[in-house]
């Protein structure tokens, strides 16, 4: 099968992602074999390729926003049939027995494994997934639009929950790529006023078209104080800017799996008056199920740029260069 592997992590210009011909993987006893029909390209894939995230598996096949159909299953699998459409996301497996799993925080499990980092993912014609971590997908969306929901959507949803936005509150979003443009729609559907801060004028126009009440440059001050904010941009320099924009008692959630260094914070300017700074780590399966159920009730507008699978290296390079609006998606 056609697949892409991270051969030698490094700058995207060094071509860390290489095309390969690999055998079709065999599912484990509790796993599904999935024929990939679409795989969205995530900034986390870029972090894996460039080495910002340390290698966990040599020559790993990245990709963790997969929509496909069941093509086979291990002997322990029940409840799935060949041809069923399923989703494969970032969280691949947890131990189910640690204190974090037992209290419903499986995203913090020390033994957690991740698709496209610990195991081969969706930049290929086939992949595998433990059946317990595969998602049932809502009807009414084509494969290309469902794929970004499986990480960009889920992580954005968890970030929104972590940001503690009050009902009808004012939400600031810093950076406006694949995850942010979905999160904005979820927040607006829940009654929020959304303010988008991003350097891309094209992304600013998209934000306004999706219902944001304001869109401006990343370093601009929103027209009124924010109740909550989410930083999607992988730049630590944005953190003090966003904190300074919060109203009293506001919360800032940082959504990325990797962030450049955060500059020194001034206590009175950035944290005083009970402002909160928090992070987001992966997601739970419950987050995913809730987001997909919400997507079945509120038709989300998913902005995508399709690429054929044999141009996965170009898709990742375009993401690194900021040439993608919405989500790049590899299609079979």
Question: Distance between CA 236 and CA 231 in Å, rounded?
Answer: 9
Residue 57 is predicted with a pLDDT of 96
Write the pLDDT tens digit of every residue in 124-157: 999 999 999 999 999 999 999 999 999 999 999 9
Question: Distance between CA 138 and CA 142 in Å, rounded?
Answer: 10
Question: Distance between CA 295 and CA 149 in Å, rounded?
Answer: 9
Residue in 49, 73, 54, 16 with CA at minimum distance from that of residue 121:
49
Residue in 296, 298, 302 with CA at minimum distance from that of residue 189:
298
| Mean pLDDT value across residues 85-97 | 98
- Is residue 47 predicted with pLDDT exceeding 90? yes
| Mean pLDDT value across residues 154-182 | 96
Residue in 214, 210, 211 with CA at minimum distance from that of residue 223:
214
pLDDT band at 63 (very low <50, low <70, confident <90, very high): very high
CA 224-229-235 angle, 5° bins: 115
User: Which residues of the chain form CATH 3.40.50.720?
Assistant: 154-279
Residues 6+ apart with CB under 8 A from 272: none
Indicate the helix (H) or strand (E) that contains 25: none
- Is residue 309 predicted with pLDDT exceeding 90? yes
Token pair listed for 295 = 């997507």
Residue 258 is predicted with a pLDDT of 87
Q: What is the mean pLDDT of the chain?
A: 96
| Mean pLDDT value across residues 257-276 | 95
8 Å CB contact between 226 and 246 = yes
Only one residue has tokens 């740029």, namely 305
- Is residue 217 predicted with pLDDT exceeding 90? yes
Residue 73 is predicted with a pLDDT of 98
The conformation of residue 201, written as its DSSP 8-state character, comes to H
User: Which residues of the chain form CATH 3.90.180.10?
Assistant: 2-141+302-331
pLDDT, greater one: 326 or 216: 216
DSSP secondary structure of 111-173: T-EEBTTTB--SSBSEEEEEGGG-EE--TTS-HHHHGGGGTHHHHHHHHHHHTTPPTT-EEEE
| Mean pLDDT value across residues 78-103 | 98
8 Å CB contact between 150 and 40 = yes
Residue 19 is predicted with a pLDDT of 98
Question: Distance between CA 74 and CA 313 in Å, rounded?
Answer: 32
Residue in 223, 221, 230, 275 with CA at minimum distance from that of residue 248:
275
Indicate the helix (H) or strand (E) that contains 178: helix 178-189
Query: Radius of gyration over alpha carbons of the chain, in Å?
Result: 19
Residue 22 is predicted with a pLDDT of 98
Residue 70 is predicted with a pLDDT of 98
pTM: 0.92
| Mean pLDDT value across residues 1-14 | 96
Indicate the helix (H) or strand (E) that contains 221: none
pLDDT band at 100 (very low <50, low <70, confident <90, very high): very high
CA 128-129-130 angle, 5° bins: 135
Question: Distance between CA 257 and CA 284 in Å, rounded?
Answer: 15
Residue 322 is predicted with a pLDDT of 87
CATH class of 154-279: alpha beta
Residue 311 is predicted with a pLDDT of 98
Residue 256 is predicted with a pLDDT of 84
In this structure, which topology does domain 2-141+302-331 adopt according to CATH? Quinone Oxidoreductase; Chain A, domain 1 (3.90.180)
Residue 257 is predicted with a pLDDT of 86
Question: Distance between CA 146 and CA 143 in Å, rounded?
Answer: 5
Residues 6+ apart with CB under 8 A from 51: 9, 10, 16
Write the pLDDT tens digit of every residue in 231-256: 999 999 999 999 999 999 999 999 98
| Mean pLDDT value across residues 18-44 | 97
Question: For the sheet containing 170-174, what is the strand order?
Answer: 214-216, 193-197, 170-174, 226-231, 246-254, 276-279
In a 3-state reduction of DSSP, which class is residue 192?
Answer: coil
Residue 273 is predicted with a pLDDT of 97
pLDDT band at 325 (very low <50, low <70, confident <90, very high): confident
């Amino acid at each position: 099968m056609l697949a892409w592997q991270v051969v030698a992590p490094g700058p995207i210009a060094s071509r860390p992602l290489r095309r390969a011909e690999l055998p079709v993987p065999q599912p484990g006893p509790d796993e599904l074999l999935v024929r990939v029909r679409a795989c969205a390209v995530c900034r986390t894939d870029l972090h894996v390729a460039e080495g910002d995230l340390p290698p966990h598996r040599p020559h790993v096949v990245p990709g963790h926003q997969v929509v496909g159909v069941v093509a086979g299953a291990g002997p322990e699998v029940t409840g799935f049939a060949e041809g069923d459409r399923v989703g494969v996301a970032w969280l691949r497996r947890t131990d189910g027995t640690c204190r974090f799993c037992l209290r419903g925080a499986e995203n913090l499990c020390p033994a957690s494994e991740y698709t496209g980092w610990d195991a081969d993912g969706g930049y290929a014609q086939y992949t595998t997934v433990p059946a317990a971590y595969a998602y049932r997908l809502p009807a009414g969306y084509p494969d290309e639009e469902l794929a970004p929901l499986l990480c960009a959507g889920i992580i954005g949803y968890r970030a929104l929950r972590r940001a503690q936005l009050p009902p009808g509150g004012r939400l600031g979003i810093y950076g406006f790529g694949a995850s942010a443009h979905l999160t904005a729609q979820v927040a607006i559907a829940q009654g929020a006023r959304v303010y988008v801060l991003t350097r891309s004028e094209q992304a600013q126009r998209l934000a306004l078209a999706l219902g944001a009440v304001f869109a401006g440059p990343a370093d601009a001050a929103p027209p009124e104080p924010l109740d909550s904010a989410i930083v999607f941009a992988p730049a630590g320099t944005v953190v003090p800017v966003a904190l300074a924009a919060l109203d009293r008692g506001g919360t800032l959630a940082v959504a990325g799996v990797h962030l450049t260094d955060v500059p020194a914070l001034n206590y009175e300017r950035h944290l005083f008056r009970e402002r909160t700074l928090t992070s987001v780590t992966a997601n739970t399966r419950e987050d995913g199920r809730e987001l997909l159920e919400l997507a079945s009730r509120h038709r989300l507008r998913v902005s995508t740029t399709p690429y054929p699978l044999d141009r996965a290296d170009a898709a990742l390079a375009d993401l690194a260069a900021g040439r993608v609006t919405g989500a790049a998606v590899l299609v079979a």
